[in-house]
Amino acid sequence: MKKTNVAIIGTVGIPAKYGGFETLAEHLVDQLGNELDISVYCTTKKYGPAQRQSHYKGARLIYLPFDANGIQSIFYDCLSILHALFYADVLLILGVSGGFMVPFVRWFTRKKIIISIDGIEWKRNKWSKIAKWYLWAAEWMAVRYSHVDISDNESIQNYTAIRYKTLSQIIEYGADHTMAVRPTPADREQYPFLARPYAFTVCRIEPENNIHLILDAFAQLPKHMLVMVGNWANSDYGISLRQRHQQHANIRLLDPIYDQRQLDLLRSNCLVYVHGHSAGGTNPSLVEAMYLGLPVIAFDVTYNRTTTEGKALFFRTADELVGHVRHTSIADLKQQAATLKAIALRRYSWSVIAQKYAFLVRTVMNRSSSKNNLMSLAGSRLSSDWLMQSELAHLQIPIYFYE
């Protein structure tokens, strides 16, 4: 029987060496390669000529000469969508940069569209007013005209339900690719801070990840070590923060690390994981920390509370973070870590995540083209009394939509 041909659109590419969508794409290829015929779009900006493969783990790789992020992502995603129309049965679009193409695909082709909007991209502070307007419009079109829309977090489902009156399918991220790594003598020589307790953070160096708050807090904590990994050289924000804080003896600011073992080494041996993300849905770095059995101090937004089921410590200001570091006992941290590990084992497995995506692919291929008729939950238009339905109880308190 002919396999369903799925095009994964919107990632930097695989092998994964950037972020959450890329890790997702790689694990979908790993888990579903025998069931689906998968193609993944990749950017030549991140994969030089020597790194470009025609296939990876059975998936076909297609390279385009645009950046997958920033303003070029619009052209990257739109060209990917146009190219995929020639062969794909299902377009799995990650992100909304090419959202204005979705209505035309829906109107003029029989291709099936599954879209994951990621976070609420148009609300990110890094975008100009024009960019925010475009992303808002692209999001509207993507959700409205896709066959199924995916939220990676219950709070994102809340948002799309209130704004668009559709009930998205929640599919989060896996974390069981991470591993605890015991340091070798060579590791300790390379990273001397492994010999003492330290807090750890890994993220893109952007204001919405509250890097300034975290650094300001640890600047007040000279007896507590912070190790932070990120792309410091990519923005004036990162460059200025590095210049301001690199003189602190208790703060180590490291460049991006893409090697999984090395990253797991630094994460799995820290005393506590500090998570500053304030945007997006289920952040991969957070679920990975939970899976590693790390206690977490997270920025206090609904996404992080949903991901951790409210079991992390939370901060909104540098002073609150300082207070947690100073006054939380080791015993309390260990108890919290065990609770978060149990949540991760229950919710954040790649085999479970991949099968949810496979189910959606089968569903859109086997049902009529009407979004209303696709399934009882994913992608359905909500009736006027939807807030009263018991299975949607979390939708009855929409106070966090405006964070």
Convert the pLDDT of each residue in 164-209 to its tens digit: 888 889 898 899 888 999 999 999 999 999 999 999 999 989 998 9
d(CA 270, CA 201): 10
Could you give phi then psi for residue 56, rounded to 5 degrees?
-145, 120
pLDDT above 90: percentage of residues in the chain: 62
Residue 402 — pLDDT band, cuts 50, 70, 90?
very low
With 90 as the cut, is the pLDDT of residue 325 above it? yes
Q: What is the mean pLDDT of residues 375-391?
A: 39
Contact 38, 6 (CB under 8 A): yes
Tokens standing for residue 92:
């799995």
Question: Which CA distances in Å does 55 have to 15, 58, 61, 121, 393?
Answer: 10, 6, 5, 31, 44
Q: What is the pLDDT of residues 267-295, one digit of tens each?
A: 999 999 999 998 777 888 999 999 999 99
Does residue 403 carry a pLDDT above 60? no
- Residues 215-269 have pLDDT tens digits of 999 999 999 999 999 999 988 999 999 999 989 999 999 999 988 899 999 999 9
In terms of pLDDT, which residue wins out, 364 or 284? 364
- Average per-residue pLDDT in the chain? 87
> Residue 371's pLDDT is what?
53
pLDDT at 370: 53
| Cβ burial 242-258 (10 Å sphere, 16+ → b, else e) | beebeebebbbbeebbe
> Given this model, what pLDDT does residue 376 score?
38
